[in-house]
Homo-oligomer: A and B are copies of this chain.
């Protein structure tokens, strides 16, 4: 029996993903935004998105879109929330899944990003976005905080080698508050997820700060609590 037309009396919709791409640079969390190249709202800032193709899951769509927009693969990403109000996109009915992604700014393909006219904005100073993209960003940031509170993120945003101060600043930025520096580094060392190197970064202090790297298993380890939310 052929089931192909089983649900054919049911309505069908365009289904898309939108990517909330976070990067980190100069102690700032940044978001990658694109000038929309289609009406409606042509030219206004928006998230990069893409339609789900026949042979793709939404996750695969996101991987493809990220590859096409920042030139990277193997990106850390998570579903944020589905947006499905009938009138959310004035162009047509589009049901959209928001994904957030973490990338290393030093690795991405700058020329590719430029070719779209895309720009990195500090999350503290975002322009008005089209449609419901503001909501997507808000929820993505909350989800990122949620995740960062029980999973050590940083591997995805920091360079291969980094100082504890950089990681501390990253957490400060993500949560938009100041964690105590001493307590933060004690917590980190108790987690035993980082490997201290013998070389130091002397860029931001005279004394120099040891570089650290993530240990192998640190990848997807769930910790009870890194910081209080």
Q: Which residues of A contact B (CB under 8 A)?
A: 1, 3-8, 10-15, 38-40, 51-59, 79, 81-82, 84-86, 90-95, 97, 224, 228-229
Contacts and interface: CB of A to CB of B under 8 A. Distances in A.
| Secondary structure type dominating chain A contacts | loop
Nearest to A80: B79
A128 to B, nearest CB: 20
10 contacts: A1-B39, A6-B39, A11-B14, A11-B52, A11-B53, A15-B15, A52-B84, A56-B86, A58-B82, A79-B82
Contacts of A54: 11, 86, 93
B55 A84 contact: no
B52 A3 contact: no
B7 A92 contact: yes
Given A57-B86, A84-B59, A85-B57, A11 B51 contact: yes
A84 B53 CA distance: 11
Contacts of A57: 84-86
B10 A12 contact: no
Contacts of A10: 14, 51
A40 to B, nearest CB: 6
